[in-house]
Structure formats: structure tokens, C-alpha cells
Amino acid sequence: MAAKRKFAVWGLLLALLIVAGCGDADRTEVSKQSVTVVDGDTIKVKMKKKEETVRLLLVDTPETNHPEIGKQPLGDEAKAFAKKLINEAKKIELEKEETKRDKYGRFLAYVLVDGKLLQEELVKEGFARIAYVDQPDAKYLDELKKAEQEAQRKKVGIWQWDDYTKKDGFKVESLEKEGNIFVASKNGDVYHPIGCHVVKDIKPENLIYFYSEQDAMKTNRHRSEVKECWNSYK
């Protein structure tokens, strides 16, 4: 009888450990001061005197300064949104999945700000798409799918342009005929339609996107004198 009772106690302890493993056991709280936002889907976190690059699981945001791709529309906005949520949060947590690192050595994690999933907030606002899904039963995938469907329905952010967001990333070239996107250099006093050939000469780190001509004009810039780029505009 004593042996049976002892076995039952061990069984109960094992069950509790399993349940605990399914809860918040894999979450690590980090201080706000230890976090630096690199772009919408990447942050750096100082952990145990070492700085880790943390890639947000299951999402992809437009680039801000990629060595090959350069800067993409809404990249800066996605970064600013992620930074705002992190800066305003009282509690920041990292939650890992089974795969801890990607092929670049970056730590993979869900990021929670005051209990809200940062990935889901980015998707809701149209700053991120679902991507890099290695596990079809990933923990937060269903929530992200619902958020993405709603963002697509509302045509917000990356979804306001029909061909910008694809399964393999964001296609800036698909926006060249869009009439509401303009580009300027940080150091310049003029702006161009996104399809203008001179845009390719602007360094990615100096590139600024505007999503209406009024927004471009508010910065005290004026239309460039590259006439052929303005033929379809009044």
C-alpha cells in the first residue's frame, strides 16, 4: 500500500511538471533598458552580459536597411511601432519555441509586451506578414492568422497595395506605378514618384518614403525637375 501511495505521489509531481512546462516556464523577463529595436521583426537584448540578436518568430516586416534589398516601404513605420510598444511596456518577456536559433545564429522568440504578443500587434496593424512557419502547430499561429485575415480585409499597412506582399517577401518593384508613393533623400529638398529612375541612386540609409504627396510637401520639399517622372501627374 505504501509503495502504491509513493508511486501516486510521484505521478502527481510528474503531471504538475508537465503542466508547468506548458505554461510560462519558457518565458524570460528582460528589462526595457536591455532592449534595442533593430527593425520591426528584430531586436537586440543584453542577456547575462552578452548581447543577443532576437528574431521575432512567425513574422516578417519590410526591411529598413538590408545590405542587398535596401529599405522597403513601411519598414521604418514597422520599426517605430515595435519601438513604441517596447518603450511603453512595463513588462517585456521573451518566450522560446523548440527551435532556439535560426541559420544565422539569431535567437528565435515570441516577444510579449505587458502580456500582449508583439508579433500579433504588428500583424494587426498591417506592419507584418506571417512567415517562416516551420511548425504548423506553432503556439500562436492561429491568433496570427486571424489577425492577418482582418488586416487584409481592412487593407491596412502592407495590404493596401495588391501586389506588394508575397509569400517570399515584399516586392518594391510592384509599386512603381502606384500614384500615392513618393520618395526623397534625407539630404535633399525634392521628392520623386516611386517609379522615377533617379530613386535607384538614393542610398538606402537616406531613403524616405511618403504615402501621399501632401505628406512629402509638409516636409518643405518640392517636386523634382525630372520631367519624365511626372508625365502622368497633373
| Domain match, 101 and 192 both | no
Rounded average pLDDT over 34-42: 97
CA distance 231 to 215: 20
Kindly state whether residue 1 falls inside one of the protein's structural domains: no
pLDDT in tens, 106-147: 999 999 999 999 999 999 999 999 999 988 899 999 999 999
Catalytic residue among 52, 55, 93, 178: 55
Query: For residue 6, what pLDDT is reported?
Result: 44
Residue 203, domain extent: 176-230
| Domain match, 81 and 166 both | yes
Of residues 211 and 12, more confidence is placed in: 211
| Domain match, 192 and 123 both | no
Query: For residue 15, what pLDDT is reported?
Result: 39
CA distance 29 to 150: 30
121, three cell numbers? 500587434
Query: For residue 1, what pLDDT is reported?
Result: 53
Residue 213 is a catalytic residue? no
CA distance 158 to 152: 9
pLDDT in tens, 161-202: 999 999 999 999 999 999 999 999 999 999 999 999 999 999
Residue 106 is a catalytic residue? yes
pLDDT in tens, 43-92: 999 988 899 999 999 999 999 988 888 899 999 999 999 999 999 999 99
Listed in sequence order, the residues at least 6 apart from 178 whose beta carbon sits closer than 8 Å to its beta carbon are: 161, 194, 195
pLDDT band at 2 (very low <50, low <70, confident <90, very high): low
Residue 68 is a catalytic residue? no
End-to-end distance of the chain based on CA atoms, in angstroms?
92
Rounded to 5 degrees, φ, ψ at 59 are -130, 160
Residue-level length of the chain? 234
CB 162 within 8 A of CB 151: no
| Domain match, 185 and 148 both | no
The total of structural domains in the chain comes to 2
Catalytic residue among 95, 97, 106, 121: 106
Catalytic residue among 52, 63, 120, 148: 63
